[in-house]
Amino acid sequence: MVNRTTPVRSRAWEIAAAVRDPEMPMLTLADLGVLRDVTEDGDRVTVTITPTYSGCPALTEMRADLQRSLTAAGYRDVEVRTVLSPAWSTDWITEDGRRALAEHGVAPPGPAPRRGGPVPLTLLPPSDVVRCPRCGSPATEETSRFGPTACTALRRCTACREPFQHMKEL
The span from the CA of 145 to the CA of 122, in Å, is 12
Which positions lie near other proteins, rule CB under 8 A? 48, 51, 53-57, 60, 63-65, 67-68, 81-88, 115, 118-119, 121-123, 143-148, 150, 154, 170
5 vs 143 by CB, closer to other proteins: 143
What is the phi/psi pair of residue 38, to 5°? -135, 120
Residue with Cβ nearer other proteins (159 or 170): 170
Whole-number minimum distance, CB 80 to other proteins, in Å? 8
CA angle 126, 129, 134 (to 5 degrees): 125
Q: Which is nearer to other proteins, 7 or 118 (CB)?
A: 118
Minimal distance in Å, beta carbon 68 to other proteins? 6
What does the buried/exposed string (b/e) look like for 56-86 if buried means 16 or more CB atoms within 10 Å of the residue's CB? bebbeebbebbbebbeeeebeebebeeeeee
Closest approach of other proteins to the CB of residue 110, in Å: 15
Smallest gap, in angstroms, from Cβ of residue 139 to other proteins? Answer: 22
